[in-house]
A and B are shown apart, each in its own frame.
Chain A
Amino acid sequence: MTEVATPSITESSKQDRGAPVVRIRDLHKSFGDLEVLRGVDMEVEKGEVVVILGPSGSGKSTLLRCVNKLEEPTAGEVWFEDVMVNDPKTNINEVRERIGMVFQSFNLFPHLTAKGNVMLAQRKVLKRSKEEAERIAIEQLTRVGLDDKIEYFPSQLSGGQQQRVAIARALAMDPHVMLFDEVTSALDPELVRGVLEVMRALVEAGMTMLVVTHEIGFAREAADRVVFMDGGVIVEEGTPEDVFDRPRSERTQDFLGHIR
């Protein structure tokens, strides 16, 4: 059992590509009268890095939150590997074990140290032994460059450090896919770099990633595919070069013009 600890991200590599990890079919989501998603289709293959761009209110965060059912889709299907996430019969907790999520507001558990944050779900969900969970926690915190902050409480860490603890917390569960929901938006500009470096290292390690972000630089160099959303639908998608240098849609051009 001790060998289980090796995170899957080091095992998988870009060569294993092909198997879809996340499949989304005609996804709709409404909040009351407000229709946020109006039919989204998307597929994310193993090892693929997909960056979702779009103006605020375009539904990109909602789309991400539908993948692990933090939001319940109104219609359509969300598949994770071979289970339908929004099937009421699916044990959603088993699905979530394998989907790592990092939030804009970190959401670290303030009553636990960095190590405690990374250990909690390993112990209570994966039922790992204390020793194993601790070893993996230290390993993952080291990987995000926080080996000197293991016993710190979140309130003693900077925003960037907190966000990296949150990434370590998700990685410790050996996720098959990582969801990043505007993870650098709440950070001071000088702290963004450290978080993006951790994410780049994850890309290098072959992690399957779905990233909602406004960091065009990151999207350009790290993404395999860029998806531009507006008004609850995918307006345009393609390689970073396609979307950034030769945007076909007027809305994409307009959006890129604004953030440049």
Chain B
Amino acid sequence: MEKLTRRSFLGVAGAAALTLAACDGGTPADGGDQPDDGAEGDGAEAAAKVIMVTDTGGVNDQSFNELSWAGMQQLGTDLGWDVSYLESKQDADYMTNLDKAVDAGAQLIWGVGFAMGAAVNEAALANPDVQFAIIDSTNDNGAPNLTGVTFKQEECSFAVGYVAARMTTSGKVGFVGGIDSEIMQSFEQGYYAGIEYANKEQGLSVTYQGQWAESFGDAAKGKAIAQSQIADGCDVLYHAAGGTGTGMIEACAEAGVWAIGVDQDQSHLAPETVITSALKRVDQAIYQISPQLIDGSLAGGSNIVLGAAEDAVGIAPTHDLLPDEVYQGALAVIDKIKAGEITVPKNADELATYKAGL
């Protein structure tokens, strides 16, 4: 399977020109494609060509890129689309790969990851005939052919906060953040709100603390912050800190306390330690949004925020370490968010209001 995808990648990268020629068939190449054609029918000619460009993690990064590619492959199987990917080895490759994807005649190009935001914005301005979309970043200059897709991370954080509050025995839980920003705070505040919700629902009095590492790549610092929180009595820790969080999970495993993963199911990092993970369903985002962009029902030029209502955030399916009632409770919480019964706060002010209203 892995071998196969790599081979198909080589096919794309190595023979991009051939692919282009084969795809365009009879139509004389005049630069852009015809994005509207997709709506016409199910015929072979209507198969949309979609290319995703990975960030430096590569397509098997066990994170966003891998999951994005899963969504792309699903498009390939279910709709018979021509899907492929280009891997970026370094930041400088983003622009080149986006250009390559344009040259290969893609109707829709996905950029994966916050790091590619600037490059995709630039590429969208330079290629107005091609639809672009970016995962985890936004359309910053109002280009009419670029869709920014972000996630309501406060909603999945809320669900894992609920789990944390119900799993702690010490009554203290912790949070390790990457670099403090508005987006990152939505993880933190959503998590706290979930704890408050569980406190109310279960009659608990769980307290929480959080700290920013001011880095996404400093595992030692993540470990240090976690050790400090564990020494302070916390026995469930959640992170939204990328590589810094690796250190947090390690500290939890060493100390024998629970950890909660982020973005993807991280239980493989420490199967005895990671009780659940806050999920962003990047694959769902790609699978749902691509057809709308191709058939024109979604015009592009907008920023889309996907949440529990779209099944785009949730908690990891792995729940071996959770008592059934806690897992079911968390699923029920997600259902309530879906139904609009809970509006999850995403900053400190909203959290205060939310707390007062509980």
- Are A and B genuine complex partners? no
B contact residues vs A (CB 8 Å cutoff): none
